[in-house]
Amino acid sequence: MTQAQPTGPVSSAAPAEPRTYQVRTYGCQMNVHDSERLSGLLEAAGYRRAADDEDADIVVFNTCAVRENADNKLYGNLSHLAPRKQANPNMQIAVGGCLAQKDRDTVLRRAPYVDVVFGTHNIGSLPVLLERARHNREAQVEILEALQEFPSALPAARESAYAGWVSISVGCNNTCTFCIVPSLRGKEVDRRPGDVLAEVQSLVDQGVLEVTLLGQNVNAYGVSFADPDQPRNRGAFAELLRACGTIDGLERVRFTSPHPAEFTDDVIAAMAETPNVCPTLHMPLQSGSDRILRAMRRSYRAEKFLGILERVRAAIPHAAITTDLIVGFPGETEEDFQATLDVVEAARFASAFTFQYSKRPGTPAAELPDQIAKDVVTERYQRLLALQERISLEENQAQVGRTVEVLVATGEGRKDAATARMSGRARDGRLVHFNPGGADIRPGDVVTTTVTAAAPHHLIADGPLHTHRRTRAGDAHAAGLRPRTGVGLGMPRIGAPPPAPTTTGCSR
């Protein structure tokens, strides 16, 4: 890829600019947070984040294997980079994440110009693999079958100055027949509470106001700590929520996603009694049919699910509850689908992420008989969407006249420039477009305002602001500062490489 470096005295010329990188992320919040770690690793190794309009020296794809057509999207985007790679062999392309873990033998066959392929269990290897690929002038593939080090120990360059993800566990012990995540992320491993709280404290010390606790099944937290000296503790998640409530300066705590089968009353009590835990809950239903839930291996039934919502609303009357729904699971009859509509009507979700079922190779559901015709799935999906849109609108219209506290965000309102509004999230997670009234408001600041109108997916507050609080997070955002967490793990500093690669033969 590069020519050998001539020997001789060291040049006194100014050092070359650091190589630049770009991380492109597909998929869930866990992937988004993993991308923050990838960015942190690359910056710790001496790379510089490329500007949005700049062609990066290194492009990293952090992939998803759950979303429909994830592979087509990846390979389509890879093909767009092929001409750049051909014109500049020093450019590097890396593919990681869930799709790389699943299709390890396919990536290089379909895109032989890729330099590095790495999996979900070894994201910390990326800088070394990139350097090894440059040095050896051949592609490097490293896919591990089990977690080697907890990824939250890796350095992370955070995307937001005011809100941060904090992983409390990785992996999942459930066996839902439609889901490939356990085979790609592995069995659940939980972080020690002290480590989680230390990361939260580090973010708050840097001005962050809101954290979201992440896990494939957050309310199973405590069943399998990474530390063998940490005893199993079924009440650990509720205790963690309460502990977050003691962190001075932490204004909002969210979490995603719990599993209905393991959602316990101690968590509801912790939510209701801890002031900075937000009145919002994302609780995946998937189907309202008990027969389909059994086929999905979802170990709860519709009655239990609705009972949880009833107890949550009794303790937190204004909680905004959201969900996930799958339409057209194999064997779903019209009667099964009607059961889903009935539960959705009863649940009164603030919003729902609705998906049309599609086969995922490697999942048990892909081999089930009675796969539903695409046109039937689409027609049912449209009916479910119409029902949820109506409910979402009604629930949002009930917010009109209420005063809401909004954490101002960036990129939330696509029409803000045209409407002269700004946008952010209320404490219950609803998106609010508000009139700043000419005030100098920054993302990361906090305002209070009154809701004047509603749509299915957002609230509008066009009246005057009641309060505006400037925050350290707003200061950091205005200064272009991003929080950083994690510690380095002895990664080599690559920095601005000379015309030829180093000859250290780095390995881990």
Which residues carry a binding-site annotation?
28, 64, 98, 172, 176, 179
Q: Please give the helix or strand (H or E) that residue 60 lies within, else none.
A: strand 58-63
Task: Give the Cα separation of 182 and 173 in Å (integer).
Answer: 7
CA atoms within 13 Å, Cβ hemisphere of 108: 12
Q: Which helix (H) or strand (E) holds 311?
A: helix 302-315
Question: Residue positions in the annotated binding site for [4Fe-4S] cluster?
Answer: 28, 64, 98, 172, 176, 179
Return the SS3 of 281: strand
Q: E strands along 98-190, which residues?
A: 116-118, 140-142, 156-157, 163-167, 169-170, 189-190
3-class SS at 355?
A: strand
Strand partners, 273: none
Tokens read off for 500 = 């030829």
CA neighbours within 13 Å on the CB side: how many for 353? 9
Rounded to whole angstroms, how far apart are CA atoms 119 and 204?
A: 30
How many CB atoms lie under 10 A from the CB of residue 367?
12
Question: Which residue is it, tokens 């979700």?
Answer: 349
SS3 content of the chain, % helix, strand, coil (to 5): 35, 20, 45
Residue 355 dihedral angles phi and psi, to the nearest 5°? -130, 140
Burial class of residue 209 in the structure, from the number of CB atoms within 10 Å of its CB (0-12 exposed, 13-18 middle, 19+ buried): buried
Instruction: List the 280-282 sheet strands across, edge first.
Output: 280-282, 320-327, 351-356
Residue 241 CA from chain centroid, whole number? 19
- Could you tell me which residues come within 8 angstroms of residue 216 by beta carbon, excluding any fewer than 6 positions away? 30, 169, 170, 171, 172, 174, 181, 182, 185, 188, 257
Report which of 264, 101, 95, 253 is spatially closest to residue 170, judged by C-alpha positions. 101
CA atoms within 13 A on the CB side of 379: 8
DSSP-derived secondary structure letter, 217: T
Strands (E), 99-206: 116-118, 140-142, 156-157, 163-167, 169-170, 189-190
CA distance 459 to 322: 16
DSSP state of 117: E
